[in-house]
Structure 1
Amino acid sequence: MSTTGGTPRTGSHVLPHDERVSSWFPDFLRKELAPYPGRGAIVARMVIASTITAVLVVVFRIPGGAIAVLLAMILSREDIVSTTYSAGLRVLSFALVALFVPVGGRLFASVPIMHFLWQGISIFLCFYLLRALTNFAIASTLCLVVTNILTIWYLPGPAERNVKLTLWQVAAACVGALVTLAVELVYYAFNKHDEVITGVDSRLKQIEELMLAYAAGEPVPATVNRELSRYAVVGAGVLRRHIARTADEPIHRMRMSTLVSLTGRSIDFAAGMAASVPNCTSDERERMGRLALRIAEIRHGLAMPNQPQHQPAQWEPEPESTSTPLLSELEIIMSLLPSVLSSDTSLDPRLEILDTPKEESRILVRDAFANPEYLRYALAGTLAAMLCYLLYVGLNWPALSTSVTTCVLTGLTNIGSSRQRQVLRITGVIIGGFIFGMGAQIFVLPAIDNIGGFALLCAAVSAVAAWITTASSRLSYAGLQLALAFYLIVLNDPSQISLTAARDRVLGVLLGTFMMWLVFERFYRRPAMDVMIGQFIRNTRLLAELAETTLVETDANTIVRVRSVRDRISSGFQEVTAQSDAVPFETGPERAAHMAARDRIRRWQAAERTFYLLQSPLLQFRVFANPAQRNRPFYSIENQFRLTCGQVFRRMAEHIECQIGSGAKGATAPTAAEVHHDPVPQLVPLLDTLQAECKEPFSEREQALFRMARTIGGVVDRMEQETATELLFSRE
């Protein structure tokens, strides 16, 4: 019996897509709501910012205060620079809204047909910006404010009143952004730390704990394994962007970039060890114990930036491990890190990794006006929102206008994600609206006669919402909806407490959810399964490109290209995971086939992630191999191996791609004979043949790298065999 991606195999894979919700949902909630390092601090800052904003809204009777508090919860808290940048962009965009809506409303609100067209065009722009703006967070909050302001111009009224309420709505949004920025500034004033150093230290800590577990002969802790995998997939892009924003001196930038690059490589090696080395020899355990002490020294140096850096005692990497080269690679990196941190030591030229080129500053995506998909998406979303508009205007029921906001907030790029957000939104609305919101109006608010009691109520609900919001993307949206529903009832009109208004707002949310389901199901059908398979195929081709990349020493352009490809692969892995979470929300006759395909894609992606992690030593060998190594037979063997890997990945992508379409229908799925492609050499036999034909013995390092290549070959061979013999949509 063997395992692949955590799925048991006894000749054939057992597909878990028929599991009942009761069997996995409790464990899902436990994992999503479990604390993790830093979660408490983030939640505390979110609660403080939202509570202060809520108190300001009530004290100054600011209309539309729900938006202000919601913005206080969703503003970026990655670091002080990104928070300031995000807050500034939001305030600027809200200022533009303050000009756009009143002018448009004044010009078109007095004539019914023009008012209708103005509403439609405004909503169309909202949906279009959700796809066309490069910053989705800005687009979503901007559209949230716009749709709320549009309800002010529901019927022609006194211009002064409409403009006044519009400006109050914009002011409320700005208050939320500015309060959050102030809280973050105070937090960082009392918690001064370098974001790059903190990020590096947290990664080195996981490696140290991994080495300590190996040295003690204990199994790798699940938390360490999970954190290493997360860091390996996420990469070091956030740290590099922070360096680009804050480091002005070229020498300091070079040192920090090298530190981040070395740390990122060490994370890849450590994650590969955790995934492929279940146990080690006594000699290796001693080496790992010494390496853990070395990492502790490096972390101590990072924690004392103001003290003079001293060069640690000379420490040379030990001979190659007889089981894995990953340990030796880690030792090499840890022997180089002190020289990077030492201010009086020049860097090894091989380690002067170039800064990532600055990304072009763009407001709209590159194909904003060329991709017809954006237009179709905006038209479908506009249709759903305008159906809601016609219904609540025809019924003269303006309180149902929350339906339009619901359409904008649940309108993502495909059916599955939209349905996933709709389910999460309904769940959040039920908890935040019916239970917390209406429950507070009935049982709590009548007994509160001071601002302190109200602040405690807001803080308690905000804490629940913030804790859910800081979960993964599979659950976090429900926390935002919980907060929005609660504050729509309690704060949207501080001068009025009405159960009727609360009921109508909740009904509006349900109406918007229904209209989005109806329109996107019938007129814009684009299942999450299609998006997931398409992204998986792109990831497979990117892995082929990565394997086939020829590196010439430390060629600048090639290194930058490799880094770009690896970043795209990491982002692609996250996109496939996000879409796989959305597939179970889809319905229809082909759902069973889609769920079977989802199980296979998730299993195959686990194999691709293993390849992504384990190929790092071979990649480093190609980058830093000296001319003498390139003249040895092993280099040509490694070269042929990686080119064959690229071939295998391209054939797998073609094989999966040819099953899209008819295979998704289930009954018309092609047979294995119909889905045919030319045979591809098996990598393990290929390596064995090449080794047998090689007349010159391998060096100790080459033997270790060969064993690693053979491990990679086994992973790829198993995946290639599965993709060739298992039909993607087969339910067997």
Structure 2
Amino acid sequence: MIGTGVIAVGSELAIVTLTNNDPIARVLSISIVTFLGGMIVGGTTKPNLGASWGLLFCLLIATWDRHVSETILVSNSLWLLAALSLSVVCTVSVEYVFGSRTPVEDLRLQFVQRYRSLATMYAACSEDTTTAKRHEAANKVSRLAVAGASGMLDIYHVIVDRNLPTKALPPDAQLRIMVLARLMDDSAAFGFKDELFSDPAVRVRCARLAAKCAELAAASDVPSEHQALKNDLPGTDLLSKIEDLVDVLAGAADPEGGLKGQEPIIVPTNKIPLVIHGAMRKPENVAFALKISLCATICYVFYHGVDWPGISTSVTTVMVTGLSTTAAMKQRLSFRLLGSITGGLLLGLGTIVFLFPLMDSITSLAILIGAVAFGIAWISGGTRFAAIGPNIAFAFYFVALVGSRASTELAPARDRLFGILLAILVMWIVFDWIWPVRTITVMQRVLASVLNGTAELVSMDPNRASAIWMNQEERLRRQIGSNLAILRGLDETVEYDLGANPGDQAETSDLIVQASLSAAALAWSQVLFLNDVEEGIEVADRVRLGLRNAIAADLASMASAIDPERGQPAPFLVDTTTLLDDGSDEYERAIVARYIDTRNLVSALLEGETSRRGVSLRPTGQRP
């Protein structure tokens, strides 16, 4: 953050100095910097750098529109840099003092907490209990579902960055986090379907789920013996999906112990390349950067043309809310508007009108700031509406704390709100009318990337292990895990994409997420196989090379068909009836089962079967 601030301040001062504060140069600088920021967002592994640089630069360059001394403007820029440095120091200090000392144990406890809540809920669903007791258990699952996967992923990344021992965690922890988040969402919905629990067959299946979740909670690793939850009893499609997800989490271990006790190879963040390979040349990333630049330039020129500098928040809104898909942009704009109304009009104006006249000491101001910051942090701790918190803070501090003295003007709150409304209008026209990118299209691209990454992993020859080979495996694992997180976020924004047939879009989005989870499970089965080879376990001949190559070619063909830019037919290259024989071991069965599962889901997606009535997440290889 400090580095981003230094770059923003340096860029601002360099442009003003070299051009003698020429207005045309400021306009061009807004266009160029926002374009570069958009490219950083779309083409690097640190997208926040681009958004932060563009936001700070737009804030700083707007101050040079005022008719005040250059000394004051330069001092304000340096004060901003000092404030950023102070905030970083305070954040690091607080985290050091109060942060967790045992992130591995914390992550394990997060798994256990969720498994236990699921076991309690399904136990209540399997018994002839009261609706209130069942709803109480479902509410606990719902609260954990709302928390999402972000918190667990943050702990996982801390473990990776600190290079801590991870024997207490399963080898595929990142995949399990994403699958568990999905399981929590579906289970929260299932727990309130009271009309289903009068069916004895449903109760039996819930009892088996409760037993399996209790087993997962009690075990620190994958259970040594696991039988798939066979779908031989009538039930609902949702219950079948839940059983499939539990099967992924409780995947069968190798009977000889080859999969147990392994410590996965994980990639520290500082070893991940900053620039994503090939991303800077992708047309969609360039188009996204151009849209961001166009919106910011239009807003900047407009508020100069009408001589209304108070609405300069329109430019910063573009950088705060500008995302690659139409639905995600609408979601962020909605949160931006709601946060600004809450923080600027309600809290900001309320503080100016009712509280500042009664405050006469720094103590009262500190209490006010602490109370507001606590509320904002509490809102930001969720997943669905986390973006509202920073927008409330942004609006409140810009309205109520405009200088070293208590604010007495009401116009800043009005101007900032109108600036946000201007940005919403401009971005709606550019992103939704002129240059729309639908969320389903982006999700198809991400799914194609998951399939391609899985194909590369499956085709890797374990007999050619080398440093390059290990780096490639690490890169592919990180890429697949990141893509799963992206798909989960996009799945939550589909409802904001107000295009044709929103119901079909939601169903298609759900099917894409299922296919990606299945493909990721296949990738992690291959990772376990490669890890065994690296550990010197004699398993290189267990999975036939020809079988892996054929599955990899078929996955690549699926990716070509899914990718909206290519859209090539997907001839299935593998005859599923000849994949397994009596000599096939657990490795082959796991890989083939996940392959067939992925193939069925991709087939349904390509055929447009968004209703998903005949599609199951259950691997065909695990049926009795």
TM-score (structure 2 length as normaliser):
0.72
CA contact (8 A) 1:441 1:497 kept: yes
> Which residue does 1:195 correspond to in 2?
103
Aligned counterpart, 2:351: 440
Unaligned runs of 5+ in 2: 128-133, 188-201, 231-246, 613-624
Match of 1:515 in 2: 426
**Matches of 1:520 and 1:356, distance apart in 2:** 36
Residue 167 of structure 1 corresponds to which residue in structure 2? 78
Q: Give the direction of change, closer, same or farther, for the CA distance of 1:149–1:111 in structure 2 (3 Å limit).
A: closer
Query: How far did residue 136 of structure 1 move?
Result: 2.5
Contact 2:321/2:332, CA 8 A, preserved across alignment: yes
- The 3 A distance-change label for structure 1 pair 95 and 596 is same
1:475 aligns with 2:357: no
Task: Look up the equivalent residue of 1:481 and give its one-letter code.
Answer: N
Q: How does 1:92-131 map to 2 (within 5 A)?
A: 92-131=3-42
CA distance in 2, matches of 1:550, 1:279: 44
Structure 2 counterpart of 1:585: 496
Paired with 1:175 and 1:532, the residues of 2 have a C-alpha distance of 39
Matched, 1:491 2:401: yes
Query: Which residue is equivalent to 1:569?
Result: 480
Answer yes or no: is the 8 Å Cα contact 1:235–1:570 preserved in 2: no
Distance 1:517 1:368, change over 3 A: same
Q: Which one is further off, 621-630 or 567-576? A: 621-630
Which residue number corresponds to residue 85 of structure 1? none
The letter of the residue matching 1:167 is L
Equivalent residues of 2:167, 2:263 under 8 A apart: yes
Q: Tell me how far 1:265 sits from its aligned partner.
A: 9.3
RCO higher in structure (CA 8 A, sep ≥6): 1
How many residue pairs were aligned?
A: 566
Shift of 1:132: 5.5
Change (3 A) 1:707 1:207: farther
Distance 2:58 2:256 in 1: 56
Match of 1:329 among 245, 249, 253: 253
| Alignment partner of 1:386 out of 292, 297, 311 | 297
Tell me how far 1:183 sits from its aligned partner. 2.5
* CA distance in structure 1 between the partners assigned to 2:178 and 2:485 by the alignment: 20
| Unpaired runs of at least 5, structure 1 | 1-89, 248-252, 299-316, 338-350, 662-674
- In 1: Cα distance, 2:147 partner to 2:372 partner: 32
Look up the SS of the partner of 1:396 in the other structure: coil
SS at match of 1:576: helix
Partner of 1:451: 362
Q: How does 1:578-657 map to 2 (within 5 A)?
A: 578-587=489-498, 591-593=499-501, 596-610=504-518, 612-613=520-521, 620=528, 624=532, 635=542, 645-646=551-552, 648-657=554-563
The reply to whether residue 418 of structure 1 matches residue 324 of structure 2 is no
Task: From 28, 51, 69, give the equivalent of 1:158.
Answer: 69
Distance 1:224 1:709 in 2: 35
| Corresponding residue number in structure 2 for 1:723 | 605
* Residues 244 and 719 (structure 1), Cα distance of their counterparts in 2 relative to 1, 3 Å cut: closer
What is the one-letter code of the residue matched to 1:264? A
The 1:621/1:222 distance shift into structure 2, 3 A limit, reads farther
Deviation of residue 145 (structure 1)?
2.3
Instruction: Check conservation: 2:348, 2:400, Cα contact below 8 A.
Output: yes
- AA aligned to 1:393 is H
- 1:562 and 1:655 mapped to 2: Cα distance? 24
Give, as a single letter, the amino acid of the residue that structure 2 aligns with 1:199. L
**1:709 & 1:278 partners in 2: Cα distance?**
32
Counterpart-to-counterpart distance in 2, 1:232 and 1:561: 29
The 1-side partners of 2:318 and 2:290 are apart by: 12
Coordinate RMSD, CA, aligned: 5.2
What's 2:417 paired with?
Answer: 506
For residues 361-400 of structure 1, the aligned pairs below 5 Å read 370=281, 375-400=286-311
CA deviations over 1:37-82 (Å, ceiling 9, x no partner) = xxxxxxxxxxxxxxxxxxxxxxxxxxxxxxxxxxxxxxxxxxxxxx
Cα distance, 1:394 vs. partner? 2.5
TM-score, with length taken from structure 1? 0.62
Structure-1 residue corresponding to 2:313: 402
Give the whole-Å Cα distance in 2 for the aligned partners of 1:431 and 1:416: 23
Q: Report the 3-state secondary structure (helix = DSSP H, G, I; strand = E; otherwise coil) of the residue aligned with 2:71.
A: helix
Matched, 1:429 2:340: yes
Do the aligned residues in 2 keep the contact of 1:329 with 1:617 (CA within 8 Å)? no
Secondary structure of residue in 1 paired with 2:307: coil
Amino acid at match of 2:253: E
Give the Cα–Cα distance (whole angstroms) in 2 for the partners of residues 358 and 333 of structure 1.
Answer: 31
1:180 is displaced (CA, Å) by 2.3
Task: State how far apart, in whole Å, the 1-side matches of 2:287 and 2:183 are.
Answer: 47
Distance (Å, rounded) in 1 between the aligned partners of 2:379 and 2:526? 41
Q: Any idea what SS the aligned residue of 1:329 has?
A: coil
**Contact 1:419–1:585 (CA under 8 A) maintained in structure 2:** yes
Contact 1:214–1:285 at 8 Å: present in 2 too? yes
C-alpha separation in 2, matches of 1:640 and 1:412: 42
Deviation string, structure 1 residues 347-374 (Cα, Å, up to 9, x no partner): xxxx475564775576655558655655
Q: Is 1:533 the equivalent of 2:457?
A: no
- Per-residue deviation, 1:398: 1.5
TM-superposed deviation, 1:503: 0.8
Identity of aligned residues (%): 21
| Secondary structure at 2:387 match in 1 | helix
Letter in 2 for 1:573: L
Shift of 1:499: 0.9
Q: Partners of 2:70 and 2:320 in 1: how far apart?
A: 29
Deviations 1:254-303 (A, max 9, x none): xx1555564739958996999999979999999998997675xx9xxxxx
Q: Following the alignment from structure 2 to structure 1, what is the Cα–Cα distance between the partners of residues 345 and 506?
A: 35
Q: What is the letter of the counterpart of residue 98 of structure 2?
A: Y
For the residues of structure 2 that align with 1:652 and 1:564, how far apart are their CA atoms? 21
After superposition, the Cα gap between the structure-2 partners of 1:223 and 1:536, relative to the gap in structure 1 and judged at 3 Å, is farther
Most deviating of 286-295 and 516-525: 286-295
Matched-pair contact (CA < 8 Å) for 2:174–2:481: no
